[in-house]
């Protein structure tokens, strides 16, 4: 009796520990080849998304190239060294998915696409799941679109979930399915709403989580210079409503929750890069100014080593955005980015709000010390060991 009771209690403790692990904040990151696979800090990550697999014009997933196959092999070796690490392939991207509207259009095309992607990446390459990155259904991106894309996107995700589950029943495991979804309202063509592209509540039953791109809140599509990933709305921001209220991390999370997405299925996106605006006014050190063009995206490791060490770039801090910016008065450039301080604030927010965790775009842009990742690790889950 005592032994039996002990076994029951031990099993209960294991179950409780497993439940805590399942709900603990996680760190996921996209990998686009910007660093050697061997240098990926896998010990700090729960999930790696390979970016990108491509949807082909024939309503199928494009077969991997020889170079991709080598990378997939290296990622699998990395997974063997780090049990618990999950590998997903992300299919699409900003300018690489012009066929999604056609792929999702009919039941036959959706089934053909799902079968091909699962065969190529799950069965043959042994990925743990798929990430769909369609930017964006209906409107807002560079890709072909139709008014029915919103419903078709849900149908495509449902088809993938059904086929992944069917495979899982045969292999006795669960395959992950995630979707990369936008947050910023300034997209190609003007003001934009994510709910015009996605029926968020309808997606929830089929996905493990949504990779919410809570960055790119301001870009060359915006009317004024502004922060790439501010924490909160600033009443001084001249952008109109409702864009001003939504183009920040708190506003975006509240929007997703109000549209039926539970906190546990929101992966908060963070950017390991910055971007700028040229031709800005010197008033407010370039912030909330009309501009003439964009300054290229720049990795944090370059910002730290070349810009923060250059006296022509003067650092400022916003108490509202809880983020830094740089102003180059001689060149009239406003530059927005995240640093370890602002990353820590974002991680603490994700933990406090009980979100799924944080998602990084993109590996390879941190500095050699891993300053941004370390800030996330230490503030997302303080008890988590750092390597």
Confidence at residue 234, expressed as pLDDT on a 0 to 100 scale:
96
In tens, the pLDDT along 169-204 reads 999 999 999 999 999 999 999 999 999 999 999 999
CA distance 98 to 102: 8
- pLDDT for 21 beyond 90: no
The answer to whether 100 and 179 have CB atoms below 8 angstroms apart is no
In tens, the pLDDT along 120-179 reads 999 999 999 999 999 999 999 988 999 999 999 999 999 999 999 999 999 999 999 999
Confidence at residue 107, expressed as pLDDT on a 0 to 100 scale:
98
Choose the CATH number for 20-271+339-380 among 1.10.10.10, 3.40.50.300, 3.40.190.10, 3.20.20.80: 3.20.20.80
In tens, the pLDDT along 221-243 reads 999 999 999 999 999 999 999 99
Confidence at residue 143, expressed as pLDDT on a 0 to 100 scale:
87
How many Cα atoms occupy the beta-carbon half-sphere of 156 within 13 Å? 34
Beta bridge mates, 260:
none
Angle of the 340-352 helix axis to the 249-258 helix axis, nearest 10:
20
**What six digits make up the tokens of 279?**
């031709």
Confidence at residue 178, expressed as pLDDT on a 0 to 100 scale:
98
CA distance 204 to 209: 8
Angle of the 371-380 helix axis to the 340-352 helix axis, nearest 10:
30
In tens, the pLDDT along 321-380 reads 999 999 999 999 999 999 999 999 999 999 999 999 999 999 999 999 999 999 999 999
Confidence at residue 57, expressed as pLDDT on a 0 to 100 scale:
77
Tell me if residue 135 is catalytic: yes
* Number of other residues whose CB lies within 10 A of the CB of residue 196: 15
Burial (CB count <10 Å: 0-12, 13-18, 19+), residue 147: exposed
Domain ranges of the chain: 20-271+339-380
Of 307, 251, 248, 321, give the one whose Cα is nearest residue 276. Answer: 307
Question: What's the predicted TM-score (pTM) here?
Answer: 0.93
Confidence at residue 86, expressed as pLDDT on a 0 to 100 scale:
98
Confidence at residue 58, expressed as pLDDT on a 0 to 100 scale:
84
Catalytic residue among 54, 62, 74, 135: 135
| Angle at 378 (CA atoms; ends 271, 364), nearest 5 degrees | 35
CA distances from 258 to 88, 205, 372 (A): 28, 16, 30
CA distance 223 to 118: 42
Handedness of CA 22, 194, 275, 229 (dihedral sign): negative
Section 81-90 average pLDDT: 98
Confidence at residue 96, expressed as pLDDT on a 0 to 100 scale:
65
Confidence at residue 366, expressed as pLDDT on a 0 to 100 scale:
98
CA distance 158 to 132: 12
Confidence at residue 381, expressed as pLDDT on a 0 to 100 scale:
75
- pLDDT for 22 beyond 70: no
| Angle at 205 (CA atoms; ends 114, 167), nearest 5 degrees | 40
| Percent over 90 (pLDDT), the chain | 89
Section 274-278 average pLDDT: 98
CA distance 68 to 77: 14
Of 319, 366, 310, give the one whose Cα is nearest residue 340. Answer: 366
In tens, the pLDDT along 68-77 reads 999 999 999 9
CA distance 120 to 118: 6
- DSSP per position, 30-94: EE-SSS-GGGS-GGG-SEEEEEEE-B-TTSSBPPPPHHHHHHHHHHHHHHHHSTT-EEEEEEEES
Confidence at residue 98, expressed as pLDDT on a 0 to 100 scale:
64
Burial (CB count <10 Å: 0-12, 13-18, 19+), residue 285: middle
Confidence at residue 56, expressed as pLDDT on a 0 to 100 scale:
83
- pLDDT for 8 beyond 70: no
- pLDDT for 385 beyond 60: no
- pLDDT for 14 beyond 70: no
Buried b (16+ CB within 10 A) or exposed e, 200-228: bebbeebbbbbbbbbbbbbbebbbbbbbb
């Amino acid at each position: 009796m005592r032994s039996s009771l002990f076994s029951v209690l031990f099993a209960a403790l294991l179950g409780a520990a497993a439940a805590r692990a399942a709900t603990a904040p996680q760190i996921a990151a996209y990998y686009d080849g910007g660093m050697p696979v061997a240098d990926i800090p896998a010990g700090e990550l729960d999930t790696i998304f390979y970016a990108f697999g491509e949807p082909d014009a024939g309503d199928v997933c494009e077969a991997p190239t020889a170079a991709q196959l080598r990378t997939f092999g290296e990622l699998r070796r990395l997974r063997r060294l780090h049990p618990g690490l999950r590998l997903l392939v992300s299919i699409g991207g900003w300018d690489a998915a012009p066929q999604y509207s056609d792929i999702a259009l009919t039941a036959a095309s959706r089934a053909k696409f799902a079968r091909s992607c699962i065969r190529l990446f799950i069965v043959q390459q042994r990925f743990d799941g798929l990430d769909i990155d369609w930017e964006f259904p209906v409107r807002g991106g560079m890709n072909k679109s139709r008014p029915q894309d919103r419903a078709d996107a849900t149908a495509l995700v449902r088809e993938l979930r059904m086929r992944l589950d069917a495979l899982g029943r045969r292999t006795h495991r669960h395959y992950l399915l995630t979707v990369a979804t936008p947050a910023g309202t300034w997209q190609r063509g003007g003001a934009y709403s994510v709910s015009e592209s996605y029926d968020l509540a309808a997606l929830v039953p089929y996905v493990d989580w949504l990779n919410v791109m809570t960055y790119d809140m301001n870009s060359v599509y915006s009317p004024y210079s502004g922060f790439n990933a501010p924490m909160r709305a600033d009443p001084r921001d001249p952008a109109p409503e409702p864009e001003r209220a939504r183009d920040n991390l708190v506003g975006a999370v509240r929007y997703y929750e109000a549209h039926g997405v539970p906190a546990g299925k929101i992966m908060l996106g963070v950017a390991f890069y910055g971007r700028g605006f040229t031709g800005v006014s010197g008033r407010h050190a370039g912030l909330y100014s009309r501009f003439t063009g964009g300054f290229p995206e720049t990795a944090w490791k370059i910002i730290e080593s070349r810009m923060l060490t250059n006296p022509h770039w003067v650092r400022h801090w916003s108490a509202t955005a809880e983020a830094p910016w740089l102003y180059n008065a001689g060149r009239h450039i406003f530059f927005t980015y995240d640093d370890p301080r602002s990353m820590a604030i974002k991680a603490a927010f994700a933990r406090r709000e009980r979100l799924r965790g944080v998602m990084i775009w993109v590996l390879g842009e941190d500095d050699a010390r891993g300053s941004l990742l370390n800030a996330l690790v230490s503030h997302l889950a303080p008890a988590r060991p750092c390597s």
